[in-house]
Homo-oligomer: A and B are copies of this chain.
Amino acid sequence: LGHTTIKDIARKLKISTSTVSRALRDKYDVNPETRQRVLDLARELNYLPSSQALGLKQKKTLTIGVVVPEIDNEFFSDAIYGIENVAFERDYHVMICQTRDSAEREERIVEKLLTARVDGIILSISSSVTDVKHLKRVMEYDVPLVLFDRISDAIDTHKVLNDDYDGALKAVEYLVKRGKKRIAHLAGSLNLQISKLRLNGYKDALKKAGMPINQNLIVESGFKREESRIAAKALLLDQKPDAIFCASDNVAIGAILAARDLGISVPKEVAIMGFSNLSISELIEPPLSTVNQPAKAMGETSAKLLLDIIGQGDKIFDPKTIVLKTEVIPREST
């Protein structure tokens, strides 16, 4: 019953716990016979070491925390996929946590991870977060922190990003080239860095094309599907755009649903383009053009960066920002 300990093994074998420990770790000089007896009994008793005791002793947990707004989201689950691949290789365990875009939960989760003494944290900031004191706290503890995608310039740590500005620029240029005249923008949450950059890309693309920037065509929609659906519905009714550039996959889905609600055909009457990973766009007829984000690569890059920092121990690193390329994927058949 309960968990077998090294002590149980020592007692039954009438040897000391240190010998058992040594035999189990297969690293020190131990009489081969003794080792075998220990190994056999350990197997028989279903021995599993306690990572708590180990962590306590060695000040390492071989665990990293990953904090994302939501796991049921193509972009983040791809990123997690990438993170897990790298971690798995290096024998690190990944604790996946979702904040559901709540600042309160994000704080609670970060605290929990700190309490669990994870060796490092990879995090994408919730859109409702306005104060990053919980992240500064992580840094005060000297727990390596890598932010990805949804970052903040209020904190000076390692970051892994898309070229958001450039992606948005190219997306809107693409729409312009297809002859769109009233290109709207559903901007997500503008307290996020990525949203601001994407908005800037949108604006600059219009400027370059000599088109006016119409504030009525720019709407801060939030990142949730239903929020965006409502925002998009109002936008479509009031402004009759012939294209909408959306700040994320879910925003784009919200916009598609809104168009359907109103009987407006996509992309014939209104083109919808998202900053996105929409493999889901495959399910939509006809498929949409998107700006694809290298989600998996972002995850891998973040994890490698974090684990390298952890591996280096106390050596101090200058915060590093890595920018990954996005790519416009045209999908219209016409």
Q: Chain B nearest CB: distance from A285 CB in Å? A: 6
A side interface size, CB within 8 A: 46
Q: Which residues of B contact A239 (CB under 8 A)?
A: none
A284 at the interface (CB under 8 A from B): yes
A269 at the interface (CB under 8 A from B): no
Interface flags for A301-334 (1: CB within 8 Å of B; 0: not) read 0000000000000000000000000000000000
Query: Are B117 and A3 touching (Cβ within 8 A)?
Result: yes
Q: Chain B nearest CB: distance from A102 CB in Å? A: 11
Measured between alpha carbons, how far is A142 from B3 in the docked complex, in Å?
A: 8
A46 at the interface (CB under 8 A from B): yes
Query: Are B117 and A52 touching (Cβ within 8 A)?
Result: yes
From B50, B61, B73, give the contact of A117 (CB < 8 A).
B50
A101 at the interface (CB under 8 A from B): no
Query: Are B282 and A115 touching (Cβ within 8 A)?
Result: no
From B48, B55, B71, B97, give the contact of A72 (CB < 8 A).
B71
Q: Chain B nearest CB: distance from A125 CB in Å? A: 19
Stretch from A164-172, A210-218, A252-260 that touches the partner: A252-260
Interface flags for A69-82 (1: CB within 8 Å of B; 0: not) read 01111100110100
Measured between alpha carbons, how far is A48 from B61 in the docked complex, in Å?
A: 16
Query: Are B93 and A112 touching (Cβ within 8 A)?
Result: yes
> How many copies are assembled?
2
Measured between alpha carbons, how far is A14 from B75 in the docked complex, in Å?
A: 52
Query: Are A140 and B51 touching (Cβ within 8 A)?
Result: no
Measured between alpha carbons, how far is A73 from B280 in the docked complex, in Å?
A: 12
A2 at the interface (CB under 8 A from B): yes
Q: Which residues of B contact A72 (CB under 8 A)?
A: 71-74, 77-78
From B50, B61, B73, B141, give the contact of A2 (CB < 8 A).
B141
A116 at the interface (CB under 8 A from B): yes
Query: Are B48 and A115 touching (Cβ within 8 A)?
Result: yes
Going nearest first, the 7 A-B pairs with the smallest beta carbon separation are: A72-B77, A52-B52, A96-B96, A71-B71, A52-B55, A51-B115, A52-B56
Known: A2-B141, A52-B55. 18 other contacts (CB 8 A): A3-B141, A46-B141, A48-B141, A49-B115, A50-B115, A51-B115, A51-B116, A52-B56, A52-B61, A52-B116, A53-B56, A56-B56, A253-B283, A257-B283, A280-B280, A280-B283, A283-B284, A285-B285
